[in-house]
Amino acid sequence: MKKFNLKKEARTTYNKIARNYHEFRTKKHPSGWFYNEFLEMPTTLKLLGDVKGKKVLDLGCGTEFMPKF
């Protein structure tokens, strides 16, 4: 019987999801899509407030579009 390694399975699953999301965001919809343009980005920017001149740590950025702000 094969031993189940939760950490390895979680990493493998996360990497699959991340690859699919990256493909979706950068190849299929490089200029944006409904969820991002009308919900995710406006809400994120509102929550962040004015970050001009500040250092911001973005953990788990994924497609690396947040550091552009």
Domain ranges of the chain: 6-68
**Burial of 25 from C-beta contacts in 10 A (0-12 / 13-18 / 19+):** middle
pTM: 0.49
Question: pLDDT value at position 5?
Answer: 92
Instruction: Calculate mean pLDDT across residues 41-59.
Output: 84
Question: pLDDT value at position 58?
Answer: 74
Which residue do the tokens 């947040």 mark? 66
Residue range 2-41, pLDDT digits in tens = 788 999 999 999 999 888 887 877 787 777 666 777 887 7
